[in-house]
Amino acid sequence: MAAGALMGVLAPYGGCGWSCASPSGPQGVGGGEKMAAGWLCRRLCQGSAFPVSYASRILQNQCFFQNSNLVGVRLAGSQANTEGPKTNPLVSISDEPETLYKRVSLLVKGHDKAVLDSYEYFAVLAAKELGISVEKVHNPPKTVERFTLLKSVHIYKKHRVQYEMRTHYLCLELKYLTSSTAAVYLEYVQRNLPEGVAMEVKKTKIEKIPEHIREPIWDTLPQVEETEVKS
Amino acid sequence: KGDKAVTYEQAHPPHYIAHRKGWLSLHTGNLCGEGGAAERTLEDAFLRRFLGGTFPGCVLDSVVLKRRGNLVVLSAVLSRALPPHKIYFLGGYTETLLSHFLKCPVRLDLQTLPARLPYKYL
């Protein structure tokens, strides 16, 4: 439910991803009250490969607005209680052990430092809400690509124009995640990436030491009697 | 002299871009290590001409284009020359046509003003 409340509170970048045609969005994470809007959203997204029209998007916005008021309100005697334990079709439980990540590092690149600063606040807040420990947040130095071109079309070699493109970076390092936590966090954070900002993710996996190098070899091999070799 | 009205966008030369001006087209093509800048620029030019043509004489100032993932958001400021039902029709028409043409969701955010906002008079 924390993620559902989070989506109601933090919508700074306008929920861009809702209109993308992707069926496995974080729409099923909200509670029962949002199921209807989630279903409607999924239906609209899957029904047309191209975007929804004005009217249906306005309807979608209205549905979201009404349902966000209901989060946290207990609907006494509503029909939802009679169904028994709710099984969310988008949540799958599997028995295989999850891959663990020692470190997940996000490198966010952008042209505008102010946009990156506000995105840093958003991502750190989201990690804290989901209970992910943030190891380090730092700004690697910016890279500037400059080129000097001739100002005029024909001659005038001595008069030039210089252009430059600045790329600012933001590095977020998260400690000790499970694969499902990482999937949820990355999905949320990537759906709300602002325009003109790119992200690269590097994950460091923790694996068990393979069987054949667990014990040192000199303990496992049988004792060999030493024979003297006369040269 | 002193009667030529100039908007904020037009009044500032390009060296003010990250300082007093923002960007008109936001995409990741020009970042270090990212590609596709030429395709984005071509699409931007096409979109600006298309919008200039569908809203004839109505577009005040430049259109802001934003790309978030697959989605293209066009934010335009229009003058109130056309009646509202025609503006709504043209908006829906551009959205569906451009999304079929570019094969990605296109969203149009419109705002109307009575006239062009002057920043200063040259």
Q: What is the pLDDT along chain B (122 residues), one digit of tens a residue?
A: 778 888 888 889 988 988 898 888 988 888 888 888 899 999 999 999 999 999 888 888 888 999 988 899 999 999 988 899 999 999 999 999 999 999 999 999 999 998 888 888 88
Reported as a pLDDT band with limits 50, 70 and 90, residue A229 is low
- Structural domain span for residue B98: 22-113
| pLDDT value, residue A224 | 65
Give a yes or no: residue B120 inside a domain: no
Q: Do A196 and B100 touch (CB under 8 A)?
A: no
Give a yes or no: residue B4 inside a domain: no
Q: Which residue has 């509202």 as its token pair?
A: B84
Give a yes or no: residue B95 inside a domain: yes
Chain A residues contacting B, CB < 8 Å?
13, 16-17, 19-21, 50-51, 53-54, 109-112, 143, 145, 165-167, 191, 193-198
**pLDDT tens-digit map of A95-152:** 777 778 888 888 888 888 888 999 999 999 999 999 988 888 889 999 999 999 999 9
| pLDDT value, residue A51 | 42
Which pTM was predicted? 0.66
Looking at chain A, list the stretches that DSSP marks H as alpha helix, in order from N- to C-terminal side. 2-9, 35-47, 54-70, 113-130, 179-191, 217-220
Give a yes or no: residue B94 inside a domain: yes
* pLDDT above 80: residue A206: no
Give a yes or no: residue B68 inside a domain: yes
Give a yes or no: residue B119 inside a domain: no
Q: Is residue A103 left, alpha or beta, with left meaning phi > 0 and alpha meaning psi from -120 to 50?
A: beta
**pLDDT tens-digit map of A28-81:** 333 333 444 444 444 444 444 444 444 445 445 554 444 444 444 454 445 555
Residue of chain B whose Cα is closest to the Cα of A110 = B31
Structural domain count, chain B: 1
Reported as a pLDDT band with limits 50, 70 and 90, residue A225 is low
Task: State residue A164 phi and psi, 5-degree precision.
Answer: -145, 150
User: In B1-105, at which residue ranges do the beta strands (DSSP E only) sit?
Assistant: 5-6, 25-26, 59-68, 71-79
Bridge partners, A166 (sequence order): A144
Q: How far apart are the first and last CA of chain B?
A: 7
Task: State the CATH number of the domain containing residue B28.
Answer: 3.30.70.1350
CA distance A99 to B94: 46
Give a yes or no: residue B2 inside a domain: no
Nearest by CB to B28, which of A13, A21, A196?
A196
Q: Do A196 and B69 touch (CB under 8 A)?
A: no
Give a yes or no: residue B58 inside a domain: yes
| pLDDT value, residue B108 | 92
Residue of chain A whose Cα is closest to the Cα of B31 = A167
Chain B residues contacting A, CB < 8 Å?
18, 23, 26-28, 30-34, 66-71, 73, 88, 91-92, 95-96, 99-100, 105-107
SS3 B81: coil
Q: Do A196 and B66 touch (CB under 8 A)?
A: yes
